Amino acid sequence: MSSSNPSFNELDDIYQDIILDHYRRPRNKVNIPDPDLFSRGFNPFCGDEVTLMITLATENQIKAIGFTGQGCSISQASASILTELIKGKSLKEIMEISDVFRNLVKGLAVSDEDLDKLGELEALKGVSKFPVRIKCALLPWSTLEDAISKNKDL
Protein backbone atom coordinates (compact mmCIF):
# COMPACT_ATOMS: atom_id res chain seq x y z
CA MET A 1 0.00 0.00 0.00
CA SER A 2 0.62 3.64 0.00
CA SER A 3 2.92 6.34 -1.01
CA SER A 4 6.35 6.95 -2.40
CA ASN A 5 6.77 10.10 -0.32
CA PRO A 6 9.17 9.09 2.47
CA SER A 7 7.53 11.27 5.11
CA PHE A 8 4.30 9.37 4.55
CA ASN A 9 5.89 5.96 5.17
CA GLU A 10 5.78 6.39 8.93
CA LEU A 11 2.13 7.36 8.64
CA ASP A 12 1.42 3.93 7.19
CA ASP A 13 2.16 2.55 10.67
CA ILE A 14 -0.85 4.34 12.06
CA TYR A 15 -3.19 4.66 9.09
CA GLN A 16 -3.33 1.05 7.94
CA ASP A 17 -5.94 0.10 5.35
CA ILE A 18 -7.89 -1.85 8.01
CA ILE A 19 -8.15 1.30 10.12
CA LEU A 20 -9.35 3.51 7.29
CA ASP A 21 -11.84 0.82 6.27
CA HIS A 22 -13.35 0.67 9.78
CA TYR A 23 -13.39 4.49 9.88
CA ARG A 24 -15.26 4.77 6.58
CA ARG A 25 -17.53 1.76 7.10
CA PRO A 26 -17.94 1.44 10.87
CA ARG A 27 -19.38 -1.91 12.02
CA ASN A 28 -22.21 -2.03 14.57
CA LYS A 29 -22.70 1.71 14.53
CA VAL A 30 -26.28 1.42 15.75
CA ASN A 31 -28.32 2.33 18.79
CA ILE A 32 -29.16 -0.64 21.01
CA PRO A 33 -32.41 -0.02 22.92
CA ASP A 34 -32.55 -0.79 26.65
CA PRO A 35 -28.88 -1.69 27.06
CA ASP A 36 -27.69 -3.55 30.16
CA LEU A 37 -24.37 -1.72 29.97
CA PHE A 38 -24.05 1.86 28.80
CA SER A 39 -21.38 4.54 28.87
CA ARG A 40 -20.49 7.70 26.96
CA GLY A 41 -16.79 8.39 26.68
CA PHE A 42 -15.57 11.84 25.78
CA ASN A 43 -12.11 13.19 25.29
CA PRO A 44 -12.30 16.89 26.21
CA PHE A 45 -8.89 17.59 24.68
CA CYS A 46 -9.92 16.74 21.12
CA GLY A 47 -13.68 16.23 21.28
CA ASP A 48 -13.65 12.54 20.31
CA GLU A 49 -16.78 10.82 21.50
CA VAL A 50 -17.84 7.17 21.78
CA THR A 51 -21.08 5.85 23.31
CA LEU A 52 -21.31 2.10 23.90
CA MET A 53 -24.57 0.17 24.37
CA ILE A 54 -24.46 -3.49 25.33
CA THR A 55 -27.02 -6.14 26.11
CA LEU A 56 -26.05 -9.34 27.95
CA ALA A 57 -27.00 -12.90 27.07
CA THR A 58 -26.13 -14.13 30.52
CA GLU A 59 -24.87 -12.15 33.45
CA ASN A 60 -21.40 -12.56 32.08
CA GLN A 61 -21.66 -12.76 28.31
CA ILE A 62 -22.25 -10.09 25.71
CA LYS A 63 -25.18 -10.58 23.38
CA ALA A 64 -25.47 -7.40 21.35
CA ILE A 65 -23.32 -4.31 21.12
CA GLY A 66 -23.64 -1.05 19.29
CA PHE A 67 -21.83 2.26 19.33
CA THR A 68 -22.39 5.83 18.27
CA GLY A 69 -19.88 8.64 18.20
CA GLN A 70 -17.75 11.02 16.26
CA GLY A 71 -14.08 11.72 16.09
CA CYS A 72 -10.84 10.89 14.36
CA SER A 73 -10.17 7.76 12.36
CA ILE A 74 -8.23 6.17 15.21
CA SER A 75 -10.93 6.54 17.88
CA GLN A 76 -13.78 5.54 15.59
CA ALA A 77 -11.95 2.59 13.99
CA SER A 78 -10.93 1.39 17.44
CA ALA A 79 -14.60 1.49 18.51
CA SER A 80 -15.72 -0.34 15.39
CA ILE A 81 -13.13 -3.10 15.87
CA LEU A 82 -14.05 -3.34 19.57
CA THR A 83 -17.68 -4.08 18.78
CA GLU A 84 -16.75 -6.91 16.43
CA LEU A 85 -14.16 -8.37 18.75
CA ILE A 86 -16.08 -8.62 22.01
CA LYS A 87 -19.39 -9.96 20.78
CA GLY A 88 -20.07 -13.34 22.45
CA LYS A 89 -17.13 -13.01 24.80
CA SER A 90 -17.25 -13.12 28.58
CA LEU A 91 -16.52 -10.00 30.58
CA LYS A 92 -13.37 -11.64 31.93
CA GLU A 93 -12.07 -12.28 28.40
CA ILE A 94 -12.91 -8.71 27.46
CA MET A 95 -10.96 -7.27 30.36
CA GLU A 96 -7.97 -9.40 29.35
CA ILE A 97 -8.15 -8.10 25.79
CA SER A 98 -8.38 -4.54 27.10
CA ASP A 99 -5.22 -4.99 29.18
CA VAL A 100 -3.28 -6.48 26.28
CA PHE A 101 -4.45 -3.72 23.95
CA ARG A 102 -3.37 -1.02 26.42
CA ASN A 103 0.09 -2.55 26.54
CA LEU A 104 0.22 -2.79 22.73
CA VAL A 105 -0.58 0.88 22.03
CA LYS A 106 1.74 2.03 24.80
CA GLY A 107 4.57 0.21 23.04
CA LEU A 108 5.04 -2.41 25.76
CA ALA A 109 5.99 -6.02 25.02
CA VAL A 110 3.06 -8.29 24.13
CA SER A 111 3.45 -12.09 23.77
CA ASP A 112 2.40 -13.83 20.54
CA GLU A 113 -0.25 -15.69 22.48
CA ASP A 114 -1.73 -12.42 23.75
CA LEU A 115 -1.45 -10.83 20.32
CA ASP A 116 -3.67 -13.58 18.91
CA LYS A 117 -6.47 -12.40 21.20
CA LEU A 118 -6.48 -8.95 19.61
CA GLY A 119 -7.50 -9.80 16.04
CA GLU A 120 -7.77 -6.67 13.90
CA LEU A 121 -6.90 -4.51 16.90
CA GLU A 122 -3.28 -5.36 16.13
CA ALA A 123 -3.56 -2.89 13.25
CA LEU A 124 -3.53 -0.10 15.86
CA LYS A 125 -0.08 -1.12 17.09
CA GLY A 126 1.55 1.79 15.21
CA VAL A 127 -0.29 4.27 17.43
CA SER A 128 2.47 3.66 19.99
CA LYS A 129 4.73 5.79 17.78
CA PHE A 130 2.27 8.71 17.97
CA PRO A 131 1.96 9.40 21.71
CA VAL A 132 -0.78 12.06 21.46
CA ARG A 133 -3.00 9.62 19.56
CA ILE A 134 -2.81 6.78 22.15
CA LYS A 135 -5.79 8.17 24.03
CA CYS A 136 -7.78 8.17 20.76
CA ALA A 137 -7.20 4.43 20.37
CA LEU A 138 -8.00 3.75 24.03
CA LEU A 139 -11.16 5.90 24.26
CA PRO A 140 -13.61 3.07 23.33
CA TRP A 141 -11.86 0.70 25.72
CA SER A 142 -11.93 3.15 28.62
CA THR A 143 -15.61 3.68 27.83
CA LEU A 144 -16.18 -0.08 27.87
CA GLU A 145 -14.42 -0.48 31.20
CA ASP A 146 -16.54 2.33 32.59
CA ALA A 147 -19.74 0.68 31.32
CA ILE A 148 -18.76 -2.60 32.99
CA SER A 149 -17.63 -1.04 36.26
CA LYS A 150 -20.83 1.00 36.55
CA ASN A 151 -22.80 -2.24 36.68
CA LYS A 152 -21.96 -3.32 40.20
CA ASP A 153 -23.71 -6.68 39.90
CA LEU A 154 -21.08 -7.99 37.52
Partner 1 sequence: MLNPKEIRKDFPILNVNVHGKQLVYLDNAATSQKPNQVIDTLTAYYRNYNSNVHRGVHTLSIKATEQYESAREKIAKFINAPSDSLIYTKGTTDGINLVAHSWGLENIESGDEILLTEMEHHSNLVPWQILAEKNGATLKFIPVTESGALDLSQLNILLTSKTKLVAITQMSNVLGTINPVKEICRQAHALGAYMLIDAAQSVPHMPVDVEDIGCDFLAFSSHKMLGPTGIGCLYIKKAILETMNPVNHGGDMVKEVTLNQATWNDLPIRFEAGTPNIADAIALGTAIDYLTELGMDQVQAYEEHLTTYALDVLKGLSEDFIFYGIPDPTKRGAIISFYSPEIHPHDIGTVLDRQGIAIRAGHHCAMPLVNGRLGLPATARASFYIYNTEEEVDMLVDSLKKTLQYFNR
Give me the residues that bind partner 1 (CB under 8 A), please. 1-3, 5, 7-8, 10-11, 14-15, 20, 45-49, 70-74, 130, 133, 136
Question: Which residues, other chains included, contact 7 with Cβ-Cβ below 8 Å and sequence gap of 6+?
Answer: none
Say how far apart CA 120 and CA 18 lie, in whole Å. Answer: 8
Pick between residue 38 and residue 130 the one whose CB is nearest to partner 1.
130
CB 2 within 8 A of CB 14: no
Say which DSSP state 106 is in.
T
Q: How far is the CB of 15 from partner 1 (least distance, A)?
A: 7
Q: How far is the CB of 57 from partner 1 (least distance, A)?
A: 33
Pick between residue 100 and residue 143 the one whose CB is nearest to partner 1.
143
Q: How far is the CB of 143 from partner 1 (least distance, A)?
A: 16
Helix or strand (DSSP H, E) at 60:
none
